Amino acid sequence: MLKGDLKWKIPLIIVCVLFCAWYLAVNSINLGLDLQGGLHLVLKVETDTVIVNELVQVKDYLSREFKKQRIPFDAMSVEADGILKITAASAEELQKISEYVAEEFPRFEKKGILGSGTVLNLSMKAKEVESWKETAIQQALRTIRNRIDEFGVSEPMIQRQGKSRIIVELPGVKDLQRAIDLLGKTAELRFQLVKDIAATQEELLKRHDGKVPSGYTILLSAPDANSSGRQGAYLVEKEARVTGADLQDARVSKDELNMPAVSFEFNHDGARTFGKLTEENIGTPLAIVLDGTVQSAPTIQSRITSRGQITGNFTSEEATDLAIVLRAGALPAPVKILENISVGPSLGEDSIAAGKNAIMLGGLFVIIFMLLYYKVSGLIADLALLFNFLFIMGVLAYFRATLTLPGLAGIALTVGMAVDANVLIYERIKEELRKGKTLRSAVEKGFSRAHLTILDANLTTLIAAIVLFQFGTGPVKGFAVTLSIGIFSTLFTALILSKVIFDLVLQSGTVKRLSI
Amino acid sequence: MDIQQKIGYDFIGNRKITFVISLVIIVLGVGSILINGGLNFGIEFVGGTLVEVRFTEIPEVNDVRDAIDDAGFKEAVIQRLGNGEVVMIRVQQESESASAVGEDEGGQITKALEAVFGANSFVINRVWQVGPQVGSELRRSAQLALLFAIVGLVLYISWRFESKFALPVAIIAVITIGLSSWNVAISLIIMLALIAVSVACIVFDYHFAFAAIIALIHDVTITVGVFSLTDREITLPVVAALLAIIGYSLNDTIVIFDRIRENIRLMGRKLPEQVLNVSIRQTLSRTILTSLTTLIVVLVLLFAGGHVINSFAFALFIGVLTGTYSSIFIATPLLFEWNNRSKGGIFRKV
């Protein structure tokens, strides 16, 4: 029969062991990016550009409307900090403009009238700005999610952080650079009519009296790899007639030269607009512009409605990725990479091997040391250590916690620190024995007097681990996790499990001496 | 086997020696930090790019340097690891104002290496790019972590050793945490908080807490100093190791102090230096044994854990060593010094 507290301690231990063994068998332990390789990106969506773009649109609209309605104004420009500045010849004229804007654009507010009443500064209301930015972030999240889905990554993590950041984690991705390119591309596709083409920008400007005609802009083509980086210059209409937003589908195909290309298909609206555009401009080159760079500018031969093809000097991989980003949609604003952690698969494997080695070797040394120093009692401590390891892994599996390299180091460190509790107890027992106590009462005394110290020792480390968990990121968090779990399982194995083993050994009554 | 019985060393009588040793190490470390113009922080704290490649054949370092130089990274740090087939290239962020990572520096470095060595002669182990904005955020959160750990542990120490003391410390802690949410330099807050706690210790005569806190500062200062002396980088895992050390080294101090308090009750009529020496001796085998098992593991991590966590393991190694040393040779003798200086003597109150 089990005596005293063994009645509940032994079943508790059995339950814990079964619990941990079960979850170890059922759940697999997740490996962090540093162990399995992959990509961790912190992206910042440049939401300010969304506001600036909107201001530019409004500016263009207003200047058209003012001309139409004969409202005179001197100048209009989009300034930094989201200000739309309108200058008029007199205060009366500005008053008219101000009234018009107030009526037409209630989402704008006056930021002040300057220059003796002839300059009006407008900006979007703060609430509007917030909601525009919020929409942009939501769209960016959707787009990035779509792209990753199309790219095909198992268990990606896409998370918003703060106001304008997105964290993307792609475990196990091998082609890291490609994934970065895929996510970072804005993928804004525009179809713009071409007015003039030249070899360089200077030449183009010379032909047009040194300045860009109003309503037009100059775009360059991608540097041509075949002809020593030559870039063509294109004078195109500022406004896109059709954009990538009207696409329904995009697939990889081949062009006439059997080179990789991307074929696209417009949706209903897009097809109608594109049909009209091509019908009216037969013989005019149409620039296909991706993120501000001219991909190609084929001359319109006939009316095209729903289908088209983008050619360029694509590799088949580039064509695949372009098709992906076009299908997934454009980002509402450019994204900047704030942090990029790419871990190749081979380093991950090395790290796992090194971590495992360190745990096993460290564990082995500690086990041998305890055995040599404490003999039989050392064996009990070693047994407790093995259970400790099982508990740590089991709890990790139960929480589906992510194991990182510092996390592995944390386990190794726990192995070294766990026997601390046993040492404390044993040294107390020795002292009691020296005082002439019987083995039984020395063990009781040893355990009970070491309790407080063991709690102390582990609490101080736990405080540090909790702080670390709170402020740490990625791999370091993994260290905090294994360290914390290790502390609890150490308390359990030292105070309950080792005590039970001692009790069982001493209970039989045959043991009169114990090597310690 | 028994360690404690054979030791006759007078820990208290020889305290001047260890005080001087510690002082010398601290002065060397702090001096090195000052001479180098601050600590050498990893790219996670200052922003920059790290590219680690594994070559199939061991390359000439000069060839690697030339390739990187030609790509325009004149200030790059190039380091060979393992048997020399792994090469780590680090470039610090050039412009402080930029918020994003540099124009694909990782890609440029890779291309430069490809041009010289050929694409098939190496694989990319890892690329790590940190923009200065993220860098300064990580720096702040690392400092905050240090601050909160110190505040938490000082609170614990004061509650543990003199519960009356917990109130003034709690007040200081609240003020500290309040300050940290403002835009005040964290290092300044940490210093102010520690000075405030020390003053409170002296005013209210809280010797145990004071000695433990001094030992804690001692351990962190020495570890950081050794990092500067050995020209190692302070990285995020190193900060994590520092926190673990703060927690760990306190253990030993608490164990010895507990024993001292117990012995003061048991052997009240003995001289203070005797009580202190006996307490150290009684706990010595425990202190040495537990540090030894931890050190074994840390040494294994240091030599077999791979280069990625080498600095982390090194910090743990130095920290465990100084933590153990300080609890025996610094914290306890400090109690004695205090006893000599304070009116009532420390043994009166317990």
Per-residue pLDDT at A318 exceeds 80: yes
- Average pLDDT value for residue range A425-449: 89
Report chain B residues whose CB lies below 8 A from the CB of A363.
297
Residue A467 to residue B148, Cβ atoms within 8 A: yes
CATH number where B118 lies:
3.30.70
Residue B147 lies in a domain: no
Q: Label residue B256 exposed, middle or buried (CB < 10 Å: 0-12, 13-18, 19+).
A: buried
What's the pLDDT at A491? 94
Task: Give chain A's largest Cα–Cα span.
Answer: 112
Structure confidence at residue B194 (pLDDT): 81
Residues B218 and B242 in one domain: yes
Q: Which of B126, B148, B301 sits opposite A409 (nearest CB)?
A: B301
Q: Shortest CB distance from A347 goes to which of B125, B290, B305?
A: B125
Partner B, chain A 93-112, Cβ-Cβ below 8 Å? none
pLDDT mean over A61-67: 85
Residue B92's contacts (CB-CB under 8 Å, 6 or more residues apart) are B43, B46, B47, B48, B75
Q: What is d(CA A429, CA A440) in angstroms, rounded to the nearest whole number?
A: 10
Query: What is the pLDDT, as a whole number, of residue A2?
Result: 62
| Total domain count, chain B | 2
A469 touches chain B (CB under 8 A): no
Question: Can you tell me the distance from the alpha carbon of B208 to that of A26, in angstroms, rounded to the nearest whole number?
Answer: 49
Torsion of Cα atoms, A102 then A106 then A112 then A114, to 10°: -40
Choose from A161, A347, A370, A425 for mutation: most chain B CBs within 10 A. Answer: A347
Among A214-223, A370-379, A439-448, B314-323, the minimum mean pLDDT is found in A214-223
Cβ <8 Å between A409 and B305: yes
Q: pLDDT digits over A197-220, tens only?
A: 888 888 888 888 888 888 888 898
Q: How far is A36 from chain B (nearest CA, A)?
A: 12
Contact A464, B247 (CB under 8 A): yes
Residue B332 lies in a domain: yes
Cβ atoms of residues A179 and A188 within 8 Å? no
Average pLDDT rounded to a whole number, residues B117-146: 88
pLDDT above 80 (res B103): no
**pLDDT reading at A224 higher than 70:** no
The answer to whether position B318 is within a domain reads yes
Mean pLDDT of all residues in A278-299 = 87
Contact B300 A412 (CB under 8 A): yes
| First-to-last C-alpha distance (Å) of chain A | 27
Report the residue of chain A nearest B305, measured CA to CA: A354
Relative orientation angle of helices A176-184 and B105-117, to the nearest 10 degrees: 140
Instruction: Retrieve residue B333's tokens.
Output: 């003798």
Cβ–Cβ below 8 Å for B153 and A417? no
B266 contacts on A by Cβ (under 8 Å):
none
- Residues B113, B237, single domain; the answer is no
Asked if residue B119 and residue B219 are part of one domain, the reply reads no
Closest approach of chain B CAs to the CA of A37, in angstroms? 9
- Residues B336, B203 within the same domain: yes
Strand partners, A252: A262
Q: pLDDT value at position B1?
A: 47
Which residue of B286, B292, B295, B303 is the best one to mutate when testing the A interface, meaning the one whose CB has the most A CBs within 10 A?
B286
Examine the domain organization and report whether B203 and B315 are in the same domain: yes
Q: Which of B130, B156, B185 is the last residue of a domain?
A: B130
B305 and B331 assigned to the same domain? yes
pLDDT tens column, A3-50: 678 888 899 999 999 999 999 999 888 888 889 899 999 999 998 888
**What residues of chain A lie within 8 A of the CB of B286, using their CB?**
423-424, 427
The pLDDT of residue B96 is 47
Spatial separation of the C-alpha atoms in residues A120 and A113, rounded to whole Å = 5
Check CB contact under 8 Å for A465 and B160: no
User: Does the beta-carbon distance from A357 to B145 stay under 8 Å?
Assistant: no
Predicted TM-score (pTM) of this structure: 0.85
Nearest to A463 among B156, B295, B308 (CB): B156
Chain B positions in Cβ-Cβ contact with residue A406 (cut-off 8 Å) = 237, 240, 309, 312
Which of A36, A427, A491 best probes binding to B when mutated, by most B CB atoms within 10 angstroms?
A427
Q: In degrees rounded to 5, what are phi and psi of residue A120?
A: -115, 125
| Chain A CB within 8 Å of residue B196 CB | no
**Cβ count within 10 A of residue A392:** 25
CATH number at residue B221: 1.20.1640.10
Which residues in chain A are contacts of B54 at CB distance < 8 A?
346-347
By CB neighbour count within 10 A (0-12 exposed, 13-18 middle, 19+ buried), where does A210 fall? Answer: exposed
Q: How confident is the model at residue B344 (pLDDT cuts 50, 70, 90)?
A: low
| Residues in chain B within 8 Å Cβ distance of A476 | 236-237, 239-240
Q: Is the pLDDT of residue B218 over 90?
A: yes
Clarify whether residues B105 and B26 are in a common domain: no
Task: Map residue A340 onto helix, strand or coil.
Answer: strand
B110 and B63, same structural domain?
yes
* B331 inside 8 A of chain A by CB: no
Domain boundary among B130, B155, B175: B130
Instruction: Answer whether B297 sits within 8 Å of A420, measured CB to CB.
Output: no
| Lookup: tokens for A271 | 């097809």
Question: Residue A335 pairs with which residues in a beta bridge?
Answer: A45
Inter-chain touch A470–B145, beta carbons under 8 Å: yes
In a domain, B5, yes or no: no
- What's residue A137's pLDDT? 92
The per-residue DSSP string of A117-134 comes to TTEEEEEE-HHHHHHHHH
- C-alpha to C-alpha distance for B139 and B186, rounded to whole angstroms: 10
* Cβ contacts of B128 on chain A, cutoff 8 Å: 340-342
User: Of A354, A357, A397, A353, whose CA–CA distance to A489 is shortest?
Assistant: A397
Residue B137 located in a structural domain: no
Nearest CB partner across the interface for A460, out of B237, B247, B312: B247
Inspect the interface and report whether the beta carbons of A355 and B148 lie closer than 8 Å.
no
Residues B33 and B108 reside in one and the same domain: no
Residue A89: in which H helix or E strand, if any? none
Q: Which of A404, A400, A420 is nearest to A494 (CA)?
A: A420
Helix or strand or coil: residue B266?
helix
Q: What is the pLDDT of residue A16?
A: 94
Encoding tokens for residue A433? 């024995």
Q: Which residues contact B334 (CB under 8 A, 6 or more apart)?
A: B210, B211, B214, B215
Shared domain for B74 and B125, answered yes or no, is yes
B107 touches chain A (CB under 8 A): yes
How many A×B Cβ pairs under 8 Å?
221
Q: How far apart are CA B298 and CA A413, in angstroms?
A: 7
| C-alpha closest to that of A450 among A392, A507, A381, A383 | A381
User: Hey, are the CB atoms on B247 and A464 less than 8 Å from each other?
Assistant: yes
Which of B130, B165, B191 terminates a domain? The answer is B130
Predicted pLDDT of residue B286? 86
Q: Do B293 and A423 touch (CB under 8 A)?
A: yes
Tell which residue, B87, B92, B167, has the closest CA to residue B130. Answer: B92
Which of A:36-95 have CB within 8 Å of B? 42, 44
Q: Do B47 and B134 contact (CB within 8 A), yes or no?
A: yes
Interface contact B100-A370, CB threshold 8 A: no
Q: Does A464 contact B246 at a Cβ distance shorter than 8 Å?
A: yes
State the DSSP H helix or E strand holding residue A204, giving kind and residue range, or none if neither.
Answer: helix A201-207
Q: Which of A50, A72, A45, A195 is nearest to A124 (CA)?
A: A50
Distance separating alpha carbons of residues A166 and A47, to the nearest angstrom: 12
Give how far Cα B294 sits from Cα of A6, A369, A374, A409, Å.
31, 11, 17, 12
How many other CB atoms sit within 10 Å of the CB of residue A318?
Answer: 16
Co-location of B214 and B331 in the same domain: yes
Using an 8 Å Cβ cutoff, are B128 and B43 in contact? Answer: yes
- Does the beta carbon of A336 lie under 8 angstroms from any beta carbon of chain B? yes
Interface test with B, best of A448, A476, A491 (most B CBs within 10 A): A476
- For residue range B257-273, what is the model confidence (pLDDT) as tens digits? 988 888 888 877 778 88
| Helix and strand totals (H; E) in chain B | 13, 4
Closest by Cβ to B99, choosing from A336, A419, A453: A336
Closest residue to B293, CB basis, from A34, A416, A475 = A416
Q: Which of the residue ranges A288-292, B37-41, B177-181 would you say has the lowest mean pLDDT?
A: B177-181
pLDDT at site B350: 44
**Is residue B194 domain-resident?**
no
B350 falls within a domain: no
Q: Domains along chain A?
A: 5-34+346-508 (1.20.1640.10), 47-129 (3.30.70), 191-311 (3.30.1360.200)
- pLDDT score at B349: 47
Which chain A residues touch B250 with a CB distance below 8 Å? 460
**Cβ of residue A364 closer than 8 Å to a chain B Cβ:** no
- Measure A43 CA to nearest chain B CA, in Å: 9
B36 with B126, same domain: the answer is no
Chain A nearest-CA distance from B152, in A, is: 7
Task: Work out the pLDDT band at A397, boundaries 50, 70, 90.
Answer: very high
Q: What is the pLDDT of residues A107-156, one digit of tens each?
A: 888 887 777 778 888 888 889 899 989 999 999 999 999 889 888 888 89
The residues, ordered by sequence, that sit 6+ positions from A20 with a Cβ below 8 Å of its Cβ are A390, A391, A393, A394, A395, A397, A398
**Listed ranges A285-289, B17-21, B268-272, B304-308; the one with the highest mean pLDDT:** B17-21
Residue type, A413: L
Q: Residue type at A333?
A: A
Answer whether A478 touches B (CB < 8 Å): no
Tens digit of each residue's pLDDT (9 = 90 or more) over B185-198: 777 788 888 888 88
- Angstrom CA distances, A136 to A48, A302, B337, stand at 10, 37, 65
Question: Is B250 a domain residue?
Answer: yes
Q: Please write the tens of the pLDDT for every residue from B43-77.
A: 889 888 999 998 988 888 888 888 888 888 878 88
A24: Cβ contacts below 8 Å, ≥ 6 apart? A390, A393, A394, A397
Q: Considering only CA atoms, which of A89, A411, A57 is closest in space to residue A239?
A: A57
CB contact under 8 A, A340 and B129: yes
Give me the mean pLDDT over the B230-256 stretch: 90
What pLDDT, on the 0 to 100 scale, is given for residue B347? 63
The Cα–Cα gap between B64 and B117 comes to 9
For residue B116, the enclosing domain spans 48-130
Whether pLDDT at A252 is above 50: yes
A424 pLDDT above the threshold of 80: yes
Residue the block writes with tokens 């601290």? B26
Calpha distance A260→A316 (Å, rounded): 5
